[in-house]
């Protein structure tokens, strides 16, 4: 096919015809002539998620308190069931994973459990580009131990304001570092860090290391157990499509199982001892020990349906389509918008790229507003970033083609100038 034809509408249709995952779009609630490119912030609702949520509501209606052990989806074991279903997505054993809490609560739990300052090792290593919530939690944990964040939180600097040098991260693993917490994928640029390499280097130095998987789980496969990662946490409402503000999850490597949780709670208990009501905790022998409170059942329920889709599609197949979609989007942007002032700021190499395309433009905020006016749903990140995430489950190549054509129209006609170049309250 001629090069020019590779950017045609007909070529997008050809790619869709050959897509082995195209059937899954029908599983989601999408709107006609709307192009949803913000699944890296909040995934769309699937019909399966709706079904399993309604099933838990019905269990409540039909069984009342007996829903904890009866009904179609007994609540008492729902966190463990979801942990087992999630484990294949991150390369973990079922006993290493539990679905619980929220991402920030789980950061607090895992740092409280694994950060044990002593001797020279009194510092936590993070980075300056990570999501703010992670830093808020780390500073809080340091202060709870009577340590100054200004002195004991080390943040690796970025050379370009968008990406991190893995070599500089390793260089910062000095003998005063007790624990490292890093994102798997940078939330702005979409850079994917080399988790096995960083884990190996941390362990060579006797340092505990964990990862925030918020922007990678469900978008790409991981091998956390094999890599020896000590712990990880994530949210489920982005690529895992479990609903706004839904329950989070965490991983603890099996060599740490049996460790007492830093923050104990009733659901930290062994399941068969929990209702003994003893005031001395008998922690679960699995990652369940790192639960704190009662499962948020109606938040967990949609994930049961969503994970069914991952089992059917396969995370490796989803990753391959994701890479093709983002590559196609980048190629189209370079071809159609080369003179419009956009910079593609995500890594272009497949091995270093997460699930979204990151564009920089000095008019980014108003361009995002203009896109929404045209039924393209993007994501803005201050000061000048547009994130576009074509999701393998429910984004077609035609959707990507039309998104770029709409962006081109907005730029050529300068319709974005009608908007203020300032973010909304929720960006």
Question: Is 212 a known ligand-binding residue?
Answer: yes
Task: Check: CB of residue 344 under 8 Å from CB of residue 330.
Answer: yes
How does DSSP assign 139-160, residue by residue?
Answer: HHHHHHTT--HHHHEEEEPPSS
Task: Check: CB of residue 48 under 8 Å from CB of residue 309.
Answer: yes
List the beta bridge partners of residue 156: 127
Question: Is 221 a known ligand-binding residue?
Answer: no
Nearest by Cα to 111 from 92, 127, 97, 124: 124
Nearest by Cα to 177 from 117, 113, 262: 117
Question: Is 11 a known ligand-binding residue?
Answer: no
Query: Which structure tokens are listed for 80?
Result: 């463990």
Q: Is 335 exposed, middle or buried (0-12, 13-18, 19+ CB in 10 A)?
A: middle
Question: Is 294 a known ligand-binding residue?
Answer: yes
How does DSSP assign 177-221, residue by residue?
Answer: EEEEEEESB-TTT-BBP-HHHHHHHHHHTT-EEEEE-TTTTTTS-
Nearest by Cα to 90 from 197, 237, 221, 213: 221
Question: Is 134 a known ligand-binding residue?
Answer: yes
Question: Is 171 a known ligand-binding residue?
Answer: no
Residues recorded for the chain: 427
Question: Is 266 a known ligand-binding residue?
Answer: yes
Question: Is 133 a known ligand-binding residue?
Answer: yes
Question: Is 104 a known ligand-binding residue?
Answer: yes
What gap in Å lies between CA 355 and CA 87, rounded to an integer?
20
Q: Which residues are annotated as a binding site for pyridoxal 5'-phosphate?
A: 103-104, 131-134, 212, 215, 237, 266, 294
Q: Which residues are annotated as a binding site?
A: 103-104, 131-134, 212, 215, 237, 266, 294
């Amino acid at each position: 096919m001629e090069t020019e034809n590779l950017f045609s509408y007909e070529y997008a249709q050809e790619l869709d015809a050959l897509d082995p995952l195209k059937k899954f779009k029908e599983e989601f609630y999408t709107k006609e002539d709307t192009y949803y490119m913000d699944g890296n912030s909040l995934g769309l609702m699937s019909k399966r998620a709706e079904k399993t949520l309604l099933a838990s509501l019905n269990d409540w209606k039909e069984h009342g308190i007996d829903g904890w052990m009866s009904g179609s989806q007994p609540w008492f074991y729902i966190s463990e069931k979801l942990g087992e279903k999630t484990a294949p997505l991150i390369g973990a054993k079922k006993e290493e994973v539990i679905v619980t809490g929220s991402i920030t609560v789980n950061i607090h739990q895992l740092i409280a459990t694994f950060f044990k300052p002593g001797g020279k090792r009194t510092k936590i290593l993070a980075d300056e580009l990570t999501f703010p919530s992670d830093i808020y939690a780390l500073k809080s944990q340091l202060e709870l131990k009577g340590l100054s964040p200004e002195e004991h939180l080390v943040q690796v600097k970025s050379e370009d304001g968008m990406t991190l040098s893995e070599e500089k991260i390793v260089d910062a693993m000095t003998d005063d570092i007790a624990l490292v917490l890093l994102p798997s994928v940078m939330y702005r640029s979409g850079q994917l860090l080399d988790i096995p390499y960083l884990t190996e280097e941390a362990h060579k130095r006797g340092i505990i290391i964990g990862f925030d998987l918020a922007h990678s789980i469900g978008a790409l496969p991981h091998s956390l157990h094999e890599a020896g990662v000590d712990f990880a946490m994530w949210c489920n409402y982005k690529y895992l499509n479990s609903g706004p503000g839904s329950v989070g999850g965490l991983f603890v490597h099996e060599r740490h199982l049996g460790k007492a949780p830093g923050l104990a709670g009733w659901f930290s208990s062994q399941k068969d001892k929990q209702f003994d009501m003893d005031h001395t905790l008998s922690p679960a022998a699995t990652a369940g020990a790192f639960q704190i409170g009662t499962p948020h059942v109606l938040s967990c329920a949609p994930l049961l349906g969503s994970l069914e889709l991952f089992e059917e599609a396969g995370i490796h197949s989803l990753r391959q389509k994701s890479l093709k979609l983002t590559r196609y989007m980048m190629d189209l942007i370079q071809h159609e918008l080369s003179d419009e002032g956009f910079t593609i700021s995500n890594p272009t190499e497949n091995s270093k790229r997460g699930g979204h395309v990151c564009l920089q433009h000095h008019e980014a905020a108003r361009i995002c507003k203009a896109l929404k006016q045209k039924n393209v749903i993007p994501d803005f990140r201050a000061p000048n970033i547009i994130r576009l995430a074509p999701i393998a489950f429910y984004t077609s190549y035609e959707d990507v083609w039309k998104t770029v054509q709409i962006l081109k129209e907005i730029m050529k006609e300068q319709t974005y100038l009608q908007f203020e170049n300032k973010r909304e309250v929720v960006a």
